[in-house]
Chains A and B, each alone.
Chain A
Amino acid sequence: MISYLIKVLIEVLPGIKVSFQIFTFTFIFAFPLAVILSFVQITIFRPVINFFTWIFRGTPLMLQLLFFFYFLFPKLQLTHVSRITVAIIAFIINYSAYFIEILRSGIQSVEKEQIEAARLEGASDFKVFIKITLPQAIVKEIPTITSEFITLIKDTALVTIIALNDFLRLIQGVVSRDFRLEPYILSAIFYLLISYIIVKIFRKIEQKINFI
């Protein structure tokens, strides 16, 4: 059976690439986007950002993928944009909505006195955000952010709805072709392994920060 699973693994490598691409781009861009939008939120456009997070946290990600690929992009005459790009855009937007809310709870827990003191010293809104509120918010919310990234690797399987051959989809293809259920074990190990690595990385980060 092991040799069969290895054969399957080689066959589904392109799917691993797709899952990783979505994961990596979202991992890299969603959080910075959330940071920028958080700043916008606490300074000027609060209702706009609140509306944004309400929409993207309030609807299923699968529905957003369907909407982006089958409705929004064709309506904008953007049918030449590749499937994976559309998926990545939807993921980044969706995850940034979650991160905005996570950051918001972290930001609210920062003592008001610190901010007022900084203001008295003449620090700008931006400086207060970057130097005082944001770092503390991030440190406090690291466990939540970690579990968000674990959710992300599992969520990549949702792209199957727009016919993108991610890892789980290719596994499913093998299952229905070979009529054997063992490849599902492979998929379980894959997701467990990735989430294990994510947890390890964030533990390291947490330790580093606690030493400071």
Chain B
Amino acid sequence: MKKLLLILLTLSTLILSSCDKEIDTIKIVKERGYAIMGYDNTFAPMGFDENNEAKGFDIDLAKEIEKVIGFNIKFQPIDWNTKEAELKTGKIDLIWNGLSITEERKKEILFSTPYLKNRQVIVTNNENINSINDLKNKKVGVQKGSAASAAVSSHEIAKDIDLIDPSTYTLVLQELKNKTVDAIVIDEVMIRYLMEKDNLNYKILDENFGEEEYGIGFRFNDTEFKNLFDKALSDIRGNGKAEEVSIKWFKEDLFLIK
């Protein structure tokens, strides 16, 4: 039995260490002809699937970037919870889907210039919840692996909260609807969009879990590859396309890059 365990351990270490090779992204992308962009296909309005087609603010921006960057971008739906592994092992070349720039993530992911502002807001249908303090001893829903989850976990109230974290936003919202949670914490950009689209009547609290910015995520060593995107981001500001996309989804120009 002990021997068996040892064999297993050595084998798996070998397999795993071979995954850590440097990935030359620009070369691979040039050869392949396209870059692979990972996105969570339940995260409206940033990136989501409709009739088997990727749609959303980030997707539209990516399509504009394709036109100026010199290679195509393929949209690959991923499980938001394993996005880091997808990126690290080279299954995708970038994460672009309302990816909040957090201190934690900065240690593992290289971020582009921030292009949109967002807040992590508290949404509830319980009239007794009006502040962060009211969440004490309550069930709070967040998406697993999301910035909302990180924001709540790092807040001092975390130890008094029963955190419920399904893997997709669809299920987080369903929990709120079913009242299996008392409140959810979610990207303001998303919940405002959904409430208007589906005529939902939830309360968004004034107090929130902090403001943040969205960026495109790259492998930690992919500085050169990232610079291509930074340049492309300012290019689509320059040619007016970014403004067009922002007005299409948010009715105003929220694109941060000047």
Listed in ascending order, the chain A residues whose CB lies under 8 Å from chain B are: 1, 69-70, 74, 79, 160-163, 172-173, 175-177, 179, 181-182, 184-185, 188-189, 192, 196
Q: Give the residues in chain B near A74, CB-CB below 8 Å.
A: 178-180
Task: Decide: A172 near B82, CB < 8 A? Known: A79-B179, A162-B166, A182-B13.
Answer: yes
Query: Which residues does chain B contribute within 8 Å of A79, judged by CB atoms?
Result: 178-180
Of the candidate stretches B41-49, B83-91, B113-121, the one touching chain A is B83-91
22 CB-based A-B contacts, threshold 8 Å: A69-B180, A70-B171, A70-B175, A74-B179, A79-B179, A79-B180, A161-B171, A163-B141, A163-B164, A163-B167, A173-B144, A173-B145, A175-B84, A179-B107, A179-B108, A181-B16, A181-B88, A182-B16, A185-B13, A189-B5, A189-B9, A196-B1
Rounded to whole Å, the gap between the CB of A65 and the closest CB of chain B is: 11
| CB atoms of B165 and A176 under 8 A apart | no
- Do B174 and A185 touch (CB < 8 A)? no
Residues of chain A contacted by B85 (CB below 8 angstroms): 175-176, 181
Kindly identify, within residues 76 to 104 of chain B, every residue whose CB is under 8 Å from any CB belonging to chain A. Answer: 81-85, 88, 104
The closest CB in chain A to the CB of B88 belongs to A179
Could you list 14 further interchain pairs (A-B, Cβ under 8 angstroms) beyond the known A70-B178, A163-B165, A175-B84? A69-B180, A160-B167, A161-B167, A162-B166, A172-B81, A173-B145, A175-B82, A176-B145, A181-B16, A181-B85, A184-B12, A184-B16, A185-B9, A196-B1
Q: Does B8 contact A (CB under 8 A)?
A: yes
**Chain A min CB distance to B217 (Å):** 12
Measured between alpha carbons, how far is A126 from B181 in the docked complex, in Å?
47
Interface range for B: 20 to 34
**For B8, what are the chain A residues with a Cβ–Cβ distance below 8 Å?**
185, 188-189, 192
Q: Which of chain A's residues have a CB closer than 8 A to the CB of B144? A: 163, 173
B16 contacts A185, C-beta separation under 8 Å: yes
Closest to A2 in B: B9
Of B1, B88, B104, B166, the most chain A CB neighbours within 10 A belong to: B166
List the A side residues contacting B88 at CB < 8 Å: 179, 181
Q: How far is the CA of A189 from the CA of B165 in the complex (A)?
A: 26
A182 to B108, CA, bound (A): 16
Report the bound CA distance from A182 to B9 in whole Å: 10
Instruction: Determine if B84 and A163 form an interchain contact, defined as CB atoms under 8 angstroms apart.
Output: no
Q: Is the interface of B mostly helix, strand, loop or mixed?
A: helix
In the bound assembly, the distance between CA atoms of A174 and B249 in angstroms comes to: 35
Give the CA-CA distance A172 to B82 in the complex, in Å.
Answer: 7
Contacts of A1 in B (CB 8 A): 13
Q: How many angstroms from the CA of A177 to the CA of B150 in the assembled complex?
A: 10
Q: Does B19 contact A (CB under 8 A)?
A: yes
Residues from chain B with a CB closer than 8 A to the CB of A182 are 12-13, 16
Shortest distance between the CB of A91 and any CB in chain B (Å): 18
CB distance from A97 to the nearest CB of B (A): 25
Q: Which residues of B contact A161 (CB under 8 A)?
A: 166-167, 171
Q: Which residues of A contact B171 (CB under 8 A)?
A: 70, 161, 163
Residues of B within 8 A of A176 (CB): 81-85, 145
Residues in A whose Cβ lies below 8 Å from that of B108: 179
CB distance from A76 to the nearest CB of B (A): 11
List of A residues within 8 angstroms of B175 by Cβ: 70, 163
Cα(A192)–Cα(B84), bound, Å: 26
> Chain B, 165-190, contact with A by CB distance < 8 Å: what is the 0/1 string?
11100010011001110000000000
Q: How far is the CA of A69 from the CA of B171 in the complex (A)?
A: 11
Contact B81 A163 (CB under 8 A): no
7 nearest CB pairs, A to B? A74-B178, A163-B166, A185-B12, A179-B108, A176-B84, A163-B164, A181-B16
CB-nearest residue of chain A to B178: A74
User: CA separation between A155 and B114, bound complex, in Å?
Assistant: 41
Whole-angstrom distance from the CB of A185 to the nearest CB of chain B?
A: 4
Task: Encode contact with A along B1-39: 1 for CB under 8 Å, 0 otherwise.
Answer: 100010011001100100100000000000000000000
Name the distance in Å between B127's Cβ and chain A's nearest Cβ.
17
Which residue of chain B has its CB nearest to the CB of A176? B84
